[in-house]
Amino acid sequence: MKKRQLNFELLRILCMYMIVVGHCLFHGRVTAKLGYGTVNYFLSYLIQSFSVVHVNCFVMLAGYFSIDREFQAQRLFRFWRQVVFYSVLIGLICSVCIGVTGTDVIKAIFPVSSNHYWFASVYMGLSLLMPFAGMLAVQLTKKQYQYLLALLALFFSVNHMIFRVNTYGTYVGRELPWFLFLALLAGYLKLHTRPDRKYFRYGLLGYAAASLAVLASVYLSVRLHQEDIGYFLNYNSPLALAAAGSLFLCVKNMPWQENRLDGWIQKVAGAAFGVYLIHDNYLIRYQVWDAFRASRVARTHWAVIYAVLAAGAVYVICTCLELLRQRIFLKVGKWYAKTAWYVREQRFCARLDQLFAVADKRGRERQAETSDE
């Protein structure tokens, strides 16, 4: 594995941990019970302000590695199996322990189409559209690419900040158009920027400045008694976009030396998405944090610190469960490879792969030309 790829794997781990902490504060009902304007109240928003990058960076990672990569339909099947596995398994456990409705059963069986996991549903749409985004990215000149990104940022971020209306198909940054924009932004950083150590420092400073600006917006909203105190915590706000882009640029240019932890970093990063699928299933998300009594300590002096530690414990437990699933799937996969269903699946994937083979070849040739310039 390349050094900078490990940098990105660290970013993947960090972003997922930020997501878990945010879920602890929100689904654990910690922030809701904190005294309005107290130290803990602002401390919780300090964490959220610096974590505002998590989903955006996670999507940018997908775009960065897919923009000029050969399309492989088999990856989509692996993604789909992982989502369905946890959806059905958790649904079965809940049906025995707490009971479920007919709607819950349908959502468990069709988790992507039913928006069981909102991120998985939008991410699947992004994955299906990425080959077309890649075709566009490799054909555009640098100036054209910049103009496209500027327009999309104006439509999806700046316009919404000013008018607060869903004019162009994105409202809080959880929509497919916003994910496509982030993927194209990451693609631009890959295709049209060169590694430079100074961008590590600039990116880190930009991330810190944008995150502190988000925190300042919360503070001012509280002081001015504004209702929408968390607007800039939306994924498509200009400050959230600036923070995510800066952090991504920082990580892309981060100096890295190989060490004995590289293998563990890769393994833990490979389990990151499973952490999300386990702990944020809507049937158990509140029970997870109730098990750690997150809401009960919300009014104590160490509430936020406890939330950070509880999130770490949940992350470790879910990582272990996901690594176990991977081992089980590896063994079951050997049996599945001997079935007729596997043969049909491979034929279908081969047809899809062939459909995009020419575009993938052009992308690699364009990347080689850019590298030689």
- Per-residue model confidence (pLDDT) at position 1: 44
Region 170-185: mean pLDDT is 95
**Nearest CA-CA partner of 23 in 222, 213, 290, 232:** 290
- Out of 171-175, 274-278, 293-297, 332-336, which region has the weakest mean confidence (pLDDT)? 293-297
Position 360 scores a pLDDT of 55
Task: Find the range with the poorest average confidence among 74-78, 218-222, 317-321.
Answer: 218-222
Query: Does the pLDDT of residue 370 top 80, yes or no?
Result: no
Q: What percent of the chain has pLDDT over 70?
A: 94
**Distance (Å) of CA 220 to CA 32, 37, 42, 93, 138:** 19, 11, 12, 45, 43
pLDDT for the residue 367? 55
Mean pLDDT of 317-336: 95
Q: Which of 30-39, 194-203, 262-271 has the lowest mean pLDDT?
A: 30-39
CB 104 within 8 A of CB 283: yes
Rounded CA-CA distance 184/24 in Å is: 31
pTM higher than 0.95: no
Q: What are phi and psi of 122, to 5 degrees?
A: -70, -35
Burial class (CB in 10 A: 0-12, 13-18, 19+), 160: buried
Does the pLDDT of residue 226 top 90, yes or no? Answer: no
